[in-house]
Chains A and B, each alone.
Chain A
């Protein structure tokens, strides 16, 4: 049978990336709120981090401010912190998932593995579906913005 996959395969995402920066710096950028605020969230979003306790059971409260003024509250709890190695956090606001970020030193570079596990396939599908709707909306807003820019040049 081909369906010999683990029982998490249909509710997880795994991304990997090698960053051209030493592991200490990557760790710093991931664990300090003033840094996170600079890169978290989609293009055009800004972030406010009111709480970020990098320790087991530490809370992490992050609000993303969308370009249209919408606020997206994100509440997470850190489940595991291994300095320069691993961060596990549980996103407790919707959508619920557990994210595991692993850091591995590769000389002057750092390899990053980012794994997200959703509670169930149903939830994952729901998220993807919602995202699909959001994405469609975002693209529409994007198109409108583009259009307005074009129009204002005339």
Chain B
């Protein structure tokens, strides 16, 4: 089964996250990246392919090197959704806050605002 490739799938794998971390600050060539991991070079190539398909990295050919650079702007999509999810919990705490203050006022015999 071939899953639709998107940014979520890209970061769902620990090795791919490590690759992104590695090239986040400066571009590296594929061999340097592969040397950093215990998995086969083929496996790394596949991860890089997926990351490229998802638009998270650019791969440029420079002479005999394939240079990978990160496109971190794509990752902001995820953080935006994480923020929305956070907002969902924030609103739960909003309700708690409203309710507890209302209860406090009722018990103190004050008018709630």
Contacts and interface: CB of A to CB of B under 8 A. Distances in A.
Interface of A: 2-3, 10, 13, 15, 17, 19-22, 25-26, 29-30, 35, 38-43, 112, 114, 116, 121-122, 125-129, 131-132, 135
A128 B11 contact: no
11 contacts: A3-B24, A17-B93, A17-B97, A19-B101, A20-B104, A42-B92, A125-B11, A125-B12, A131-B84, A132-B81, A132-B85
Contact of B92 (A2, A39, A121): A39
B37 to A, nearest CB: 15
Interface string B71-92: 0000000100110111011111
A124 to B, nearest CB: 8
Contacts of A116: 89
Given A39-B95, A128-B78, A121 B11 contact: yes
Contact of B91 (A10, A42, A126): A42
B2 to A, nearest CB: 18
A132 B77 CA distance: 11
Contacts of A128: 8, 78, 81-82, 84-85
Contacts of B11: 121, 125
Given A2-B25, A128-B78, A129-B8, A29 B89 contact: no
Contacts of B107: 25
A25 B103 contact: yes
B92 A41 contact: yes
Given A39-B92, A40-B92, A25 B99 contact: no
B49 interface: no
